[in-house]
């Protein structure tokens, strides 16, 4: 009896240990790797890791995950080949121990086996048609072109006038200047009065229907319904893979960064930029957006954040 | 005729060598974005950094060279400090080339904290970059201070700021170019000091690990970057005030209105930088609104006083048109057009849709290339030709100018359109959803090549004049 009890106890201990190893691998992966890798979700900044445990020898994987920079410096052929293939964006040394790496490899192997067979990479995606101009953007462009046309015409007129040299009446010109000054001052003041109240900061008073926390890092966006203030939170909080919203909801994005400055730029289903804010380390920017149309929204990083900047994107869905 | 100082001629040579090289770097970026150079895309961000720092640096020193040449006419800037500025700039450029080509440093031209310390490049390259900026910044600070010293010695600072005109006195007479240079140099000193603080905070972090506040660093960085670029433009305008009257055959003098407007500029220019932080919602709201007010009102002195004044100077004048006066006149228009793009973008509620899209490089390339660069190369030509007096070929000069203008505006148009269509700036490659960005890049590549061809023709025409000026120097 006693022996059996001991056996059960030892077994449960082992099971628990195995379970923590597994969760550790998962937590570590979410904290340190999802910024650049998926398992079965396609390549991001780095390769899709599904099946990597079969692709590469275990000891190479171990060495690579612990110190990719050393392998690269030692001109390891496999590391070099990957490096070139991934546009010379090096995989960073993340300061992991061998035990960490072992746990990660276990996790990648099991998660890779569990994941659906990797979807075949779509061959040469068809180019999308040119999107329509956003309404704000088209106003800005129209105003710009109109004023530019006036400037060009005035310059051409003045330039052409030099073909007929003559004295100019400076008193009259100064009178015109006074008129121009008053017109410009009135116009600009009116424009200020009209546009300043539209600043996005004023929107902070209404109560948002939904609050979504966004943590950015090189090179991904992490969405959650719980605050994320440090890399440690990443393994703890529940991530939303692709947040979903109901049409008409007023959403507040609370955007921060865990490393460098990033940008959170929201593109509507017509691929028009409708809202943005910066993601800054140590600060939380609250961006309010009313989701008015159903469809797939795209999120792009709009502040340069190193080599993977243009690959840093995410998305949301409105129903 | 007033000979051209050797230092000025050297600055011209520096500009003539570096500008085409940096244009090639620009062409490279557009080619990568057009998906024509897949294999080289890893070089995009290092080249973006080189191009940005390089161009801002080249046009700052080129504009300073104009300022110092103008000042030599009225007061006595030190030739030794001029040589020191040349040597320091060359050293800074060498360090920059080393960190970009050997270390692939790629934090962008304004190296926003903490990116330089957190990129894929080695730590030594970040240190080399910071050293490069330190050398350039310290050298230019000394240069600015020496020019201010020379001005103050001749005029006293309050007179150089035309405060006696404000008080209603027109004596002693102050050339408007000196007023503008004084305003610009004071702003330059403020900008460079902010740059020094940024650098010190970086070094503190490198040495002790103590991190800095990201919002504070962003404010300091943009105060430095925005102000520096902005006043380089003003130095170009000073060259315009100095040289355009000689072509129009009419004087352009300081008066009370000119004095008021440039003193207002000095105040306004220090607050406009807030428009770079509109999308940082944690920035105190008052600063955001001040940013828009300052950006809007900076347009009034520019448009109503300087541009109106220049147009009045040319209107029905017995104008002597050559490549210099053409570039002055068209450069003025470029300043105005780029300014319109800037004022639109400085509207907070519009900035939401344009911030960090290609609209931003669109407007600043307009006033840096078709504004500042035109004014400066016009002034360089003006000075060399003044001494060399080589007969001019009007047809060839008009053709060169046309190439420059068509190339430049075609290239800008692609930035503006792509910006309006929400294509982000600083993307090595465009995502599928925005791959219309690649088409604009290809067209821009063609136009920018025309611009480069135009600039090479300009070099052909200034070549002999520069050598003659070198031979005739004092
Ligand atoms: C015809 C010549 C030029 C060409 C072809 C060119 C091309 C480019 C291109 C393609 C970019 C990258 C745009 C992006 O995707 O963000 C860029 C950025 C830039 N350019 Fe130019 N450019 C030219 C002239 C100039 C001049 C005269 C200046 C003077 C100040 C300048 C300053 C800059 C700066 C500061 C950046 C931003 C770099 C950064 O984002 O860190 N460029 N240019
Ligand atoms: Cu980012
Ligand atoms: Cu980014």
Q: What DSSP line would sit under B324-335, residue for residue?
A: HHHHHHHHHHHH
Q: Cα(A105)–Cα(A62) distance, rounded to whole angstroms?
A: 8
End-to-end CA distance of chain A: 59
pLDDT digits (tens, 9 = 90+) for A279-292: 999 999 999 999 99
To the nearest whole percent, how much of chain A has pLDDT over 70? 88
Omega of the bond leading into A219 within 30 degrees of 0 (cis): yes
Whether B273 is in a domain gets the answer yes
Q: Which residue bears the tokens 């004596």?
A: B171
| Interface residue A16 vs chain B (CB under 8 A) | no
The better pLDDT of the pair B304, A187 is held by A187
The pLDDT value given to residue A234:
82
Q: Cα(B254)–Cα(B171) distance, rounded to whole angstroms?
A: 11
> Are A188 and B296 within 8 A, CB to CB?
yes
Q: Is B55 in the pocket of ligand 1 (CB under 6 A)?
A: yes
Which of B20, B27, B48, B367 to mutate for ligand 1's pocket (most ligand atoms within 8 Å of CB)? Answer: B48
Q: Cα(B198)–Cα(B116) distance, rounded to whole angstroms?
A: 12
**Structure tokens of B420?**
């309006």
3-state DSSP assignment of residue B4: coil
Q: Is B53 in the pocket of ligand 1 (CB under 6 A)?
A: no
Decide if A261 contacts A281 (C-beta within 8 A).
yes
The pTM of this model reads: 0.92
> Are A90 and B120 within 8 A, CB to CB?
yes
> Are A159 and B329 within 8 A, CB to CB?
yes
Residue B178 has pLDDT above 90, yes or no: yes
Residue A1 has pLDDT above 50, yes or no: no
Q: Cα(A299)–Cα(B433) distance, rounded to whole angstroms?
A: 11
**Structure tokens of A98?**
């061998």
Number of domains in chain B: 1
The pLDDT value given to residue A34:
85
Q: Cα(A243)–Cα(A315) distance, rounded to whole angstroms?
A: 8
A contact test, residue of B433, B435, B439, B440 with most A CBs within 10 A = B433
Decide if A55 contacts A45 (C-beta within 8 A).
no
Q: Is B52 in the pocket of ligand 1 (CB under 6 A)?
A: yes
> Are B281 and A201 within 8 A, CB to CB?
yes
Average pLDDT value over all residues in chain B: 94
Please tell me which residue of chain B has the smallest CA distance to A283: B282
The pLDDT value given to residue A120:
52
To the nearest whole percent, how much of chain B has pLDDT over 90? 91
Which residues, chain by chain, have CB under 5 Å from ion ligand 2?
A 262, 301, 305, 312
The better pLDDT of the pair A95, A273 is held by A273
How near does any CA of chain B get to the CA of A167, in Å? 7
Question: By mean pLDDT, which of A164-173, A194-203, B111-120, B253-262 is the weakest?
Answer: A194-203
> Are B292 and A196 within 8 A, CB to CB?
yes
Buried residues in B391-410 as b, exposed as e (16+ CB within 10 A) = eeeeeebeebbebbbebbbb
The percent helix, strand, coil of chain B (3-state, each to 5) is 80, 0, 20
pLDDT digits (tens, 9 = 90+) for B339-357: 999 999 999 999 999 999 9
**Structure tokens of B342?**
């800037």
Q: Which CATH architecture has domain A3-114?
A: Orthogonal Bundle (1.10)
Decide if A280 contacts A239 (C-beta within 8 A).
no
Mean per-residue pLDDT, B130-141: 96
Which ligand is located closest to the Cα atom of residue B112? 1
> Are B426 and A263 within 8 A, CB to CB?
no
Q: Is B368 in the pocket of ligand 1 (CB under 6 A)?
A: yes
pLDDT digits (tens, 9 = 90+) for B241-266: 999 999 999 999 999 999 999 999 99
> Are B316 and A168 within 8 A, CB to CB?
yes
The pLDDT value given to residue A205:
66
Residue B281, number of CB atoms within 10 A of its CB:
22
Mean per-residue pLDDT, B357-384: 97
**Structure tokens of A141?**
């462009």
The pLDDT value given to residue A119:
52
pLDDT digits (tens, 9 = 90+) for A41-96: 888 888 999 989 888 999 999 999 999 989 988 899 999 999 888 888 888 888 88
pLDDT band at A2, cuts 50/70/90? low
3-state DSSP assignment of residue A120: coil
**Structure tokens of A297?**
């929204």
pLDDT band at B201, cuts 50/70/90? very high
Question: Which domain does B168 fall in, by range?
Answer: 6-471
Residue A19 has pLDDT above 50, yes or no: no
- Minimal-distance CA residue to ligand 1 atom 33: B52
Question: By mean pLDDT, which of A2-11, A124-133, A283-292, B35-44 is the weakest?
Answer: A2-11
Sheet with A262-267: list strands edge to edge.
Answer: A244-245, A313-318, A295-300, A262-267, A273-279
Q: Cα(B208)–Cα(B211) distance, rounded to whole angstroms?
A: 9
Tell me the count of A-B CB pairs closer than 8 A.
Answer: 233
Decide if B113 contacts B212 (C-beta within 8 A).
yes
Residues of chain A positioned with their CB less than 8 A from the CB of B356: 263, 265, 276, 302-303
**Structure tokens of B397?**
């000069």
| Interface residue A285 vs chain B (CB under 8 A) | yes
What DSSP state is assigned to residue B15?
H
3-state DSSP assignment of residue A14: helix
Rg (CA), chain B: 22
Residue A152 has pLDDT above 80, yes or no: yes
Whether B1 is in a domain gets the answer no
The pLDDT value given to residue A18:
45
Q: Is B428 in the pocket of ligand 1 (CB under 6 A)?
A: no
Mean per-residue pLDDT, A286-303: 94
Which ligand is located closest to the Cα atom of residue B438? 1
The better pLDDT of the pair B315, A119 is held by B315
pLDDT digits (tens, 9 = 90+) for B387-443: 999 999 999 999 999 999 999 999 999 999 999 999 999 999 999 899 899 999 999
How near does any CA of chain A get to the CA of B80, in Å? 40
How near does any CA of chain B get to the CA of A37, in Å? 17
pLDDT digits (tens, 9 = 90+) for B59-77: 999 999 999 999 999 999 9
Which residues of chain A form CATH 1.10.760.10?
3-114
Decide if A234 contacts A30 (C-beta within 8 A).
yes
Decide if B295 contacts B343 (C-beta within 8 A).
yes
CB-nearest to B347 from A161, A195, A298 is A195
The pLDDT value given to residue A17:
47
Q: Cα(B358)–Cα(B383) distance, rounded to whole angstroms?
A: 36
Omega of the bond leading into B172 within 30 degrees of 0 (cis): yes
- CATH fold for the domain made of A210-318: Immunoglobulin-like (2.60.40)
> Are B115 and A134 within 8 A, CB to CB?
no
Q: What is the CATH number of the domain that holds B455?
A: 1.20.210.10
Residue A222 has pLDDT above 60, yes or no: yes
Helix (H) or strand (E) holding A34: none
Residue A87, number of CB atoms within 10 A of its CB:
19
The pLDDT value given to residue B39:
78
Q: Is B361 in the pocket of ligand 1 (CB under 6 A)?
A: yes
Alpha helices (runs of H) in B346-393, residue ranges in sequence order: 348-354, 359-367, 374-388
**Structure tokens of B438?**
């690649």
3-state DSSP assignment of residue B442: helix
Which residues of chain A form CATH 2.60.40.420?
210-318
* CA A307 to centroid of ligand 1, rounded, Å: 18
Q: Cα(A56)–Cα(A91) distance, rounded to whole angstroms?
A: 16
Q: Which residue bears the tokens 């998926």?
A: A38
Closest Cα partner for B17 from B459, B393, B470, B410? B459
The pLDDT value given to residue B42:
87
Q: Cα(A174)–Cα(A168) distance, rounded to whole angstroms?
A: 11
What DSSP state is assigned to residue A90?
P
pLDDT band at B445, cuts 50/70/90? very high
Q: Is B363 in the pocket of ligand 1 (CB under 6 A)?
A: no
Please identify, by atom number, the ligand 1 atom nearest to the C-alpha of residue B444: 5
Alpha helices (runs of H) in chain A, residue ranges in sequence order: 2-28, 52-55, 58-66, 68-73, 77-85, 98-114, 135-161, 170-195, 233-236
Query: CB-based contacts of A41: which residues, under 8 Å, 6+ apart?
Result: A48
- Minimal-distance CA residue to ligand 1 atom 6: B26
What DSSP state is assigned to residue B424?
B
Q: Cα(B143)–Cα(B150) distance, rounded to whole angstroms?
A: 11
The better pLDDT of the pair A40, B62 is held by B62
Buried residues in B336-350 as b, exposed as e (16+ CB within 10 A) = bbbbbbbbbbbbbbb
> Are A140 and B354 within 8 A, CB to CB?
yes
């Amino acid at each position: 009896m006693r022996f059996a009890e001991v056996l059960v106890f030892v077994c449960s201990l082992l099971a628990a240990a195995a379970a923590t190893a597994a969760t550790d691998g998962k937590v570590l992966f979410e904290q340190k790797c999802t910024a650049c890798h998926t398992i079965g979700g396609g390549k991001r900044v780095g390769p899709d890791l599904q099946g990597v445990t079969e692709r590469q020898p275990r000891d190479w994987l171990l060495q690579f995950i612990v110190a990719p920079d050393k392998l690269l410096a030692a001109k390891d052929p496999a590391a070099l080949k990957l490096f070139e293939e991934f546009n010379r964006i090096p995989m960073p040394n993340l300061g992991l121990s061998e035990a960490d790496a072992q746990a990660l490899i276990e996790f990648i192997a099991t998660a890779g086996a569990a994941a659906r067979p990797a979807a075949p990479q779509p061959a040469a995606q068809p180019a999308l048609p040119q999107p329509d101009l956003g309404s704000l953007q088209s106003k800005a462009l129209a105003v710009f072109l109109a004023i530019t046309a006036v400037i060009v015409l005035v310059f051409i007129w003045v330039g052409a006038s030099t073909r007929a040299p003559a004295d100019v009446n400076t008193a009259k010109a100064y009178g015109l200047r006074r008129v121009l000054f008053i017109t410009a001052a009135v116009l600009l003041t009116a424009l200020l009065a009209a546009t300043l109240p539209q600043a996005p900061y004023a929107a902070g008073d209404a109560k948002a229907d939904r609050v979504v926390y966004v943590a950015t890092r090189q090179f991904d966006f992490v969405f959650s319904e719980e605050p994320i203030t440090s890399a440690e939170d990443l393994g703890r909080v529940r991530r939303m893979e692709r947040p979903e919203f109901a049409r008409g909801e007023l959403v507040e994005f609370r955007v921060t960064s865990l490393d460098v400055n990033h940008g959170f730029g929201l593109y509507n289903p017509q691929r028009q930029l409708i809202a943005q804010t910066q993601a800054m380390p140590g600060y939380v920017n609250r961006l309010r957006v009313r989701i008015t149309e159903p469809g797939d929204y795209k999120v792009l990083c709009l502040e340069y954040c190193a080599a993977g900047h243009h690959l840093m994107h995410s998305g949301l869905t409105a129903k | 005729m007033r000979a051209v100082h050797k230092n000025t001629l050297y600055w011209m040579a520096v500009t003539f060598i570096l500008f085409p090289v940096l244009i090639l770097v620009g062409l490279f970026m557009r080619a990568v974005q057009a998906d024509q150079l897949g294999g080289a895309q890893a070089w995009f961000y290092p080249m973006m950094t080189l191009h940005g720092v390089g161009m801002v640096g080249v046009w700052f020193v080129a504009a300073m060279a104009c300022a110092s040449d103008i000042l030599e006419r009225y007061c006595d800037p030190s030739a030794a400090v001029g040589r020191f500025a040349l040597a320091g700039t060359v050293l800074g450029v060498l360090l920059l080339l080393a960190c970009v080509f050997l270390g692939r440093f790629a934090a962008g031209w304004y190296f926003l904290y903490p990116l330089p310390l957190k990129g894929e490049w080695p730590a030594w390259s970040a240190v080399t970059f910071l050293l490069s900026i330190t050398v350039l910044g310290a050298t230019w600070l000394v240069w600015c201070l020496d020019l201010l010293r020379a001005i103050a010695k001749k005029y006293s600072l309050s007179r150089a700021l035309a405060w006696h005109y404000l008080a209603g006195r027109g004596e002693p007479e102050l050339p408007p170019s000196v007023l503008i240079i004084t305003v610009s140099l004071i702003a330059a000193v403020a900008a460079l000091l902010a740059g020094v603080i940024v650098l010190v905070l970086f070094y503190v972090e490198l040495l002790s690990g103590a991190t800095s506040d990201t919002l504070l660093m962003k404010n300091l960085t943009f105060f430095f970057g925005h102000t520096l670029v902005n006043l380089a433009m003003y130095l170009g305008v000073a060259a315009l005030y100095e040289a355009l009257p000689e072509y129009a055959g009419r004087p352009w003098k300081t008066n009370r209105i000119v004095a008021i407007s440039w003193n207002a500029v000095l105040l306004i220019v220090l607050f406009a930088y807030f428009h770079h932080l509109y999308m940082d919602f944690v920035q105190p709201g008052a600063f955001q609104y001040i940013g828009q007010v300052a950006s809007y009102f900076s347009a009034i002195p520019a448009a109503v006083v300087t541009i109106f004044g220049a147009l009045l100077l040319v209107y029905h004048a017995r104008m002597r048109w050559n490549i210099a006066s053409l570039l002055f006149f068209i450069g003025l228009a470029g300043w105005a057009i780029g300014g319109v793009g800037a004022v639109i973008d400085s509207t907070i509620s519009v900035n939401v849709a344009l911030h960090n899209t290609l609209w931003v490089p669109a407007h600043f390339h307009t006033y840096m290339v078709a504004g500042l660069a035109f004014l400066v190369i016009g002034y360089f030509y003006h000075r060399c030709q003044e001494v060399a007096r080589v007969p001019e070929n009007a047809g060839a000069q008009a053709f060169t100018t046309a190439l420059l203008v068509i190339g430049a505006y075609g290239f800008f148009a692609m930035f503006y359109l792509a910006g309006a269509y929400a294509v982000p700036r600083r993307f090595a490659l465009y995502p599928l959803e925005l791959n219309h960005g690649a088409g604009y890049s290809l067209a821009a590549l063609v136009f920018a090549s025309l611009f480069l061809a135009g600039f090479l023709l300009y070099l052909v025409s200034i070549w002999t004049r520069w050598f003659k000026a070198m031979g005739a120097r004092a």
